[in-house]
């Protein structure tokens, strides 16, 4: 059947399997070979082709049981197909929240580990790997290995951020973090340009959460106009009295779903500009506010199926990180190119990463910029102009978002790629685990 990632681009004809237990999975893995390699797939939220394998895409969604929870330490053991959304609905009412969360909660725990996702607190808490106590990994020979940061550090390092290319993650043990309420105390800084936005990050290194929404159509003196949003988990005492009665409950909200695919022309520079202007003025008015966890962490989740607004050809995500000392120049160059092209991105996000040193994970100290574009020829052309800017500034790309990078560009921008590919060969992983992405990138 035709499958795609969340960006609905590219669409690839894949054989899809739904193993219900480790036995069925082992059969799939051991029968895979150089002819018919497999890749695990979670909830299909990677944007590009990371979880597509024409010869064998293995959906882990049926392996979605929670196994154990320690209410003293907040350590949860669960199968890889468990959704983060389910972890939150199960444990937030008991006062626990994920330590690291990406911008959607409709991801599986296995997918989070494979992409080593990051959140708005990366500069404090690091990427998803920080909360992983151990994970069980099915290796190319069908055996299962318990992978821990201490006992199997190399495999752990390669698996977190390894995009499923070291094996299939069966189950994980993760640490949750204690919260008193489900509310975030948000402080918004109005940054009229890129320098101001970056200064806001550098001035607030202690904020638990920080992220900037950036208007990538702004030009000239306003280039990089942003709203920098800082957040802290609100304590019970901080909450206004009307929220304090049920501090862990979400206020009831309408949920919207987009089931139809929008015409390609629905998103153009004018509609995006109007949206951006509206969002900017609306958010600017509230400098200090209490925001519920769902609106704060997952604004787009409120619109189920939002990926359809980009039309039937789908969209591509672009996310890069630039090293700290090259960030100001590089971001300016990227934003100039984007605003000149006038190809608006709906939600463009700027974020300061903390230090991270890992085998193949995306984050590293510096600034990351994430954008999405409809998969039109004009936008794809823009991406090919952005890539060299990233390369020139020593940056690299996020594979969970990628659908278009070339193998050559990857090797040029990420010195770790060759070593990662070589180890995969030496370990016998390359012949068994392979995705459309890894084939494209020669990993």
Partner 1 sequence: MSKEAVLILGARSDIGFAVARRFAQAGHAIQLALRDAQGFEDHRRDLELRSNVGVTLHEFDVLDSAGIEPFLDSLPELPIVVVCAVGTMNEQGRSEQEPDLASLDMRSNFEGPALVLGAIANRFETRGRGTIVGISSVAGDRGRATNYIYGAAKAGFSAFLSGLRNRLTGTGVHVITVKPGFVATRMTDGLDLPEKLTAAPSELGEAIFSAVQKGRNVIYVRRVWWLVMTIICAIPEAIFKKLRI
Give the interface with partner 1 as residue ranges (CB under 8 A): 1, 18, 20, 62, 65-69, 86, 89-90, 93-94
Cβ pair 57, 39 in contact under 8 A: yes
DSSP letter for each residue of 12-37: EE--EE---SHHHHHHHHHH--SSS-
Each as own residue / partner, the long-range contacts of residues 2-6 (CB below 8 Å, 24 or more positions apart, any chain) are 3/41, 3/44, 3/52, 3/57, 4/44, 4/49, 4/52, 4/314, 5/44, 5/45, 5/46, 5/47, 5/48, 5/49, 5/50, 5/51, 5/52, 5/403, 6/44, 6/45, 6/46, 6/47, 6/307
Tokens of 24: 């069925």
Which of 432, 441, 431, 428 shows the shortest CA–CA distance to 400? Answer: 441
Q: Which is nearer to partner 1, 61 or 196 (CB)?
A: 61
Cβ pair 55, 15 in contact under 8 A: yes
In the complex, minimum distance from the CB of residue 270 to partner 1, in angstroms, rounded to a whole number: 31
Cβ pair 331, 85 in contact under 8 A: no
Other Cβ atoms closer than 10 A to 13 = 9
Angle between helices 324-341 and 377-392 (to 10 degrees): 160
Q: Which is nearer to partner 1, 66 or 324 (CB)?
A: 66
Q: Which is nearer to partner 1, 17 or 118 (CB)?
A: 17
In the complex, minimum distance from the CB of residue 178 to partner 1, in angstroms, rounded to a whole number: 17
In the complex, minimum distance from the CB of residue 181 to partner 1, in angstroms, rounded to a whole number: 19
Tokens of 392: 């020139």
Q: Which is nearer to partner 1, 68 or 285 (CB)?
A: 68
Q: Which is nearer to partner 1, 65 or 384 (CB)?
A: 65
In the complex, minimum distance from the CB of residue 96 to partner 1, in angstroms, rounded to a whole number: 12
Cβ pair 56, 38 in contact under 8 A: yes
In the complex, minimum distance from the CB of residue 57 to partner 1, in angstroms, rounded to a whole number: 13
Q: Which is nearer to partner 1, 93 or 205 (CB)?
A: 93
In the complex, minimum distance from the CB of residue 18 to partner 1, in angstroms, rounded to a whole number: 5
Q: Which is nearer to partner 1, 169 or 379 (CB)?
A: 169
Q: Which is nearer to partner 1, 87 or 331 (CB)?
A: 87
In the complex, minimum distance from the CB of residue 17 to partner 1, in angstroms, rounded to a whole number: 8
DSSP letter for each residue of 273-314: HHHHHHHHHHHHT-SEEEEEHHHHH-GGGGEETGGGGG-TT-
In the complex, minimum distance from the CB of residue 145 to partner 1, in angstroms, rounded to a whole number: 21
Q: Which is nearer to partner 1, 94 or 418 (CB)?
A: 94
Q: Which is nearer to partner 1, 86 or 195 (CB)?
A: 86
Cβ pair 343, 384 in contact under 8 A: no
In the complex, minimum distance from the CB of residue 172 to partner 1, in angstroms, rounded to a whole number: 14
Residue 280 and residue 156: Cα distance in Å, rounded? 41
Beta bridge partners of residue 176, listed in sequence order: 98
CA distances from 48 to 6, 115, 377, 404, 432 (A): 7, 12, 17, 8, 21
């Amino acid at each position: 059947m035709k499958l795609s990632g969340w960006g609905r681009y590219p669409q690839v004809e894949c054989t899809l399997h739904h193993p219900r237990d480790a036995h069925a999975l082992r059969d799939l893995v051991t029968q895979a070979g150089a002819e018919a390699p497999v890749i695990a797939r979670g909830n299909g939220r990677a944007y590009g082709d990371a979880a597509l394998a024409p010869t064998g895409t293995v959906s882990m969604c049926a392996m979605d049981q929670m196994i154990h929870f320690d209410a003293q330490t907040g350590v949860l053991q669960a199968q890889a197909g468990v959704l983060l959304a389910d972890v939150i609905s199960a444990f937030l009412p008991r006062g626990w929240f994920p330590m690291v969360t990406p911008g959607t909660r409709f991801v599986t725990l296995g997918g989070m580990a494979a992409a080593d996702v990051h959140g708005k607190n990366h500069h404090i808490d690091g990427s998803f790997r920080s909360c992983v106590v151990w994970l069980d990994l099915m290796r190319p020979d069908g055996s299962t290995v318990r992978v821990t940061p201490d006992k199997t550090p190399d495999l752990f390092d390669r698996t977190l951020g390894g995009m499923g290319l070291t094996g299939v993650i069966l189950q994980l043990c993760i640490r949750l973090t204690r919260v008193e309420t489900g509310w975030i105390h948000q402080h918004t800084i109005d940054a009229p340009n890129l320098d101001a936005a970056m200064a806001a990050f550098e001035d607030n290194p202690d904020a638990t959460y920080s992220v900037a929404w950036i208007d990538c159509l702004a030009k000239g003196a306003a280039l990089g106009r942003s709203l920098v949003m800082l957040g802290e988990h609100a304590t019970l005492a901080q909450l206004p009295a009307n929220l304090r009665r049920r501090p862990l409950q979400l206020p009831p909200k309408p949920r919207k779903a987009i089931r139809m695919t929008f015409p390609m022309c629905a998103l153009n520079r004018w509609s995006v500009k109007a949206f951006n202007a509206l969002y900017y003025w609306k958010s600017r008015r509230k400098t200090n506010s209490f925001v519920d966890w769902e609106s704060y962490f997952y604004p787009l989740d409120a619109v189920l199926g939002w990926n359809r607004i980009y039309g039937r050809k789908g969209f591509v995500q672009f996310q890069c990180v630039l090293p700290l000392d090259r960030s100001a120049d590089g971001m300016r160059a990227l934003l100039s190119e984007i605003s000149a092209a006038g190809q608006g991105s709906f939600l463009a996000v700027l974020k300061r990463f903390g230090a991270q040193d890992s085998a193949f994970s995306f984050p590293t100290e510096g600034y990351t910029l994430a954008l999405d574009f409809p998969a039109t020829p004009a936008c794809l052309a823009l991406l090919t102009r952005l890539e060299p800017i990233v390369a020139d500034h020593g940056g690299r790309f996020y594979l969970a978002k990628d659908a278009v990078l070339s193998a050559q560009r990857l090797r040029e921008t990420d010195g770790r790629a060759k070593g990662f590919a070589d180890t995969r060969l030496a370990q016998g992983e390359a012949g068994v685990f392979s995705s459309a992405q890894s084939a494209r990138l020669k990993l």
